[in-house]
Every structure is written in C-alpha cells, then in structure tokens.
Amino acid sequence: MSRLGIIGGSGLAKLENLKITKREMVQTPFGEPSGPLVTGMLGGHQVTFLSRHGYGHTIPPHKINYRANIWAFKELEISNIVAAAAVGGIRQDMAPGKLSVPDQIIDYTYRREGSYFDGGDSGVEHIDFTYPYSNRLRQLLISAAANADIDIADTGVYGVTEGPRLETAAEINKFERDGCTMVGMTAMPEAALARELAIDYVTCAFVVNWAAGRSETIIDMKEIEKYIQIGTKQLRELLIATLPLL
Ligand code: HPA
C-alpha cells in the first residue's frame, strides 16, 4: 500500500515529531494546493502531510483550493488519506474533547468548486457517494483506537457548512433534525473529490466546542483553542497507532 496522506485541519498546521525528508510544491491543473506537501517519517512509517488552511492558517474554509489539494496527493501516487477536522458537537454524546470517525455527510455548502468533472474536456461523470468515507480506513482507525485505548465514536453524521461564520441556534436545530451529529466546514467537497480520484479517504473529527445553542454560553474561542490542543494530541497518538496496521 502507498504511504499515508494526512490532511491537517485547525491546530494541525504541522505534524510534530515528523522527521521531514522532502517538501514538494505540487502544481496542478487547478492551481496551487494550500502549501507544500511534506513527506517524512512518523513513528517509523512514511507519511505525506498537507496543512489544509496553509502553514500560517491563512486560508479560510470557503477559500481552500480543495481540487488542487486532493489532486496534489494523487500526483504523488497517494491512495489513502486521513483528514483531520475540528468540529462542533451537536448530539448529546458529542461533547468537546470527543474524537470520532463519521460515516456519513450532509453537505450544506453552496459556493465551492466541488468536482473534477466540469463538463467539456473534463467530461460528465457521477460518482457513487452512498457511503462517502472509506469503510476500510474507518475500521483501521477504530481498531487502532481500541489498541491504543483511545476513546472514539465509531459513527457520526458530519454536517458541512459554508462558513466562515458559525451557525445560528436554529440552524443547528435544523441540522440535528436532519440527522447531523456534528458540524464543521471542510469535509466537502474534499471527500467527494477524493472519491472522484479513487482515493480512499476518511475523516477523523475532534469536537472542539458545543455547536451553537447547545450550551449555556456562546461559543468561546479560548475554549476552542484548548480543545484543539487536546484533539490534536489525541489525533497524533491515533495516527501513530494506525500506521502499523496499514
Ligand atoms: N461549527 C462549524 N464549524 C466548526 C465548529 C462549529 O461549531 N466548530 C469547529 N468547526
């Protein structure tokens, strides 16, 4: 199997303990990815890492060049990606600090370039997206979490919003009625683009706040920062436990 690709989200602009061997700025037909793809060794295994928001966290979710990012991994012949994502918790069991591998997505985004198949020379194609995540990679993460004694929710429905603003309480109520258990801004079109390029893709989400209207107080950025640190640390441990299983 090819080396693992890792997409870092908020709080994961670089992978600590990654012994870097190569940095590549990959050019794609869709422009430049968010930054260089950094290859190195993590816990004795080769991985390639990309920071979704750029290395100084300068690219907001609605401005990310998702097509260039996923294309760049394909260009480097990477066929498995674990994507990190900080999310808000909607359902009762999705409290801040919780880690999860969602199995479904509801897409509420509306102004993103979401496909490689744009008609004309690039053709018209409709991928199957019944199960948006690679079940094989999901099961690997779930097993690795069990081996490493890391608490993880093994299902979840990720509602993806356009952002960059957070939601209203009524929007979160609607998302919950729709079936969402968590809310974030980056799973789409990333997951669909990976499917279009036949890359196995999984999200590892960590909850950094209660979604709007789900706690007594309004959303506090300091609290989010705190849970980003906790989530990032857990995620790194989970990745290290996963790599030997690949
Ligand atoms: N809403 C949307 N995206 C998010 C949130 C949220 O509450 N927390 C982290 N990313």
Structural domains for the chain: 4-245 (3.40.50.1580)
Rounded to 10°, the helix 135-147/221-242 angle is 90
Write the pLDDT tens digit of every residue in 81-124: 999 999 999 999 999 999 999 999 999 999 999 999 988 888 88
65 pLDDT more than 60: yes
* Ligand 1 centroid distance, CA of 66 (Å): 18
pTM of the model: 0.96
Residues forming beta bridges with residue 205, ordered by sequence position? 85, 100
Whether residue 18 is predicted with pLDDT greater than 60 in this model: the reply is yes
pLDDT score of 231 more than 60: yes
Segment 143-171 shows an average pLDDT of 97
Query: 164-212: per-residue pLDDT in tens?
Result: 999 999 999 999 999 999 999 999 999 999 999 999 999 999 999 999 9
Q: How much is the mean pLDDT over the chain? A: 94
Distance CA 122, CA 30 (A): 12
Residue partners of 244: CB distance under 8 A and separation at least 6: 43, 45
Instruction: Give distance in angstroms: CA of 243 to centre of ligand 1.
Output: 28
Average pLDDT over residues 123-146: 96
CA distance 108 to 151: 28
Q: What would the two tokens of residue 244 be?
A: 């030997």
Tokens of 7: 């997409």
- Cβ of 51 closer than 6 Å to ligand 1, yes or no, is no
- Rounded to 10 degrees, what is the CA torsion of 151, 227, 165, 15? -80
How far apart are alpha carbons 104 and 28 in whole angstroms? 29
Q: Does pLDDT of 9 surpass 90? A: no
Atom index in ligand 1 nearest the CA of residue 209 equals 8
Cβ–ligand 1 distance for 171 under 6 Å, the answer: no
Q: Is the CB of 209 under 6 A from ligand 1?
A: yes
Bridge partners of 83, per DSSP, are: 7, 203
Cα of 18 vs centre of ligand 1, distance in Å, is 27
Give the residue-averaged pLDDT of 29-50.
Answer: 94
234 pLDDT above the threshold of 70? yes
Checking if the pLDDT of 137 tops 90, the result is yes
Residue 43, pLDDT > 90, answer no
Q: Is the CB of 78 under 6 A from ligand 1?
A: no
The alpha carbons of the chain give a radius of gyration, in whole angstroms, of: 17
In this model, does residue 14 exceed pLDDT 80? no
Q: Is 34 in the pocket of ligand 1 (CB under 6 A)?
A: no
Give residue 176 CA to ligand 1 midpoint distance, Å: 14
**What 3 state SS string does 140-194 have?**
HHHHHHHHCCCCCECCCEEEECCCCCCCCHHHHHHHHHHCCCEEECCHHHHHHHH
Interval 22-51 mean pLDDT: 95
Ligand 1 within 6 A of CB of 9: no
Beta carbon of 88 within 6 Å of any ligand 1 atom: yes
Output the pLDDT for position 1. 56
Question: What is the Å distance from ligand 1's center to 183 Cα?
Answer: 6
Residue 25: the pLDDT is: 96
pLDDT of residue 144: 97
218 has a pLDDT exceeding 80: yes
